Chains A and B, each alone.
Chain A
């Protein structure tokens, strides 16, 4: 199974976790993260904050290359076995799954760290762009300075937001 998948289809988290460690008796820990489409109105209660849908665009070719390089970098830093990253593109609705990162290792510490590192890296270095449909019309999502700060904790200058 490929380490990186960019797809319009949804994914089954349970099935992915089962297949990631299938037959690998070295594994004692599996850590995963799932990012989903958030409707900000459900948090703030403000009608204007509604996210009606989200469109995800990417840079075919570069995206896969960039994420493969991130996993290679993670292997240099952490002692884990396998990693898998799935990122959806196209039109998504509130509550839909967007991204999946999972890592296997012998003990939990390394997979927790590698999973967080991969997500922090992906947020600022993988060429995806989100466009939200809101009551005010379509809006491109702004990059967050806090995401650059998250990557800086690992000693990497994101140079994104």
Chain B
């Protein structure tokens, strides 16, 4: 399915990319991270296992098992530090 990826903060900087469209096979947030990690290079580093990555699906915080849907906007970012 096609999804719209958006990257923020250190992940955006590490990838050198703020947004991209992806035709993904993954069905949930954890699967998506694994799929992106498997691309290697900057993706494997920015999204390395053990590095905290938060996922928002359609602008709502997601858990590892939160499902993806066609056309979803998926934000990937480090733990938030506002306030």
Which A residues form the contact surface with B (CB < 8 A)?
Answer: 35, 56-59, 61-62, 65-66, 87, 98-99, 119, 122-131, 140-143, 147, 159-161
| Chain B residues with CB below 8 A from A126, complex form | 80, 82-83
Which residue on A lies nearest to B82, using beta carbons?
A: A128
Q: How far is the CA of A82 from the CA of B29 in the complex (A)?
A: 36
Within 8 A of A (CB), among B43-78: 52, 54, 56, 59-61, 63, 75, 77-78
**With contact pairs A57-B9, A59-B8, A129-B8 given, residues A143 and B56 touching in the complex (Cβ less than 8 Å):** no
| Chain B residues with CB below 8 A from A124, complex form | 79-80
Contact A130 B8 (CB under 8 A): no
Which residue on B lies nearest to A139, using beta carbons?
A: B10
Q: Which of A123, A140, A147 lies in contact with B78, CB distance below 8 A?
A: A140
| Chain A residues with CB below 8 A from B79, complex form | 124, 142-143, 160-161
Q: Which of A62, A65, A141, A159 lies in contact with B81, CB distance below 8 A?
A: A141
Contact B75 A59 (CB under 8 A): yes
Interface contact tally, CB-CB below 8 A: 80
| Chain A residues with CB below 8 A from B59, complex form | 59, 61-62, 65-66
Contact B82 A99 (CB under 8 A): yes
**With contact pairs A59-B56, A61-B59, A65-B59 given, residues A129 and B83 touching in the complex (Cβ less than 8 Å):** no
Which residue on A lies nearest to B79, using beta carbons?
A: A143
Closest-CB distance, A101 to chain B (whole angstroms): 9
Q: Name 15 extra pairs, CB < 8 A, besides A58-B82, A59-B6.
A: A59-B75, A62-B56, A62-B59, A65-B59, A65-B60, A66-B59, A122-B82, A123-B83, A129-B9, A129-B80, A129-B82, A130-B81, A140-B9, A159-B61, A160-B80
Across the A-B interface, give the 8 residue pairs with the lowest CB-CB distance, nearest first.
A128-B82, A143-B79, A62-B59, A129-B9, A123-B83, A141-B81, A160-B79, A140-B10
Closest-CB distance, B66 to chain A (whole angstroms): 12
| Chain B residues with CB below 8 A from A66, complex form | 59-61
Q: How far is the CA of A129 from the CA of B56 in the complex (A)?
A: 15
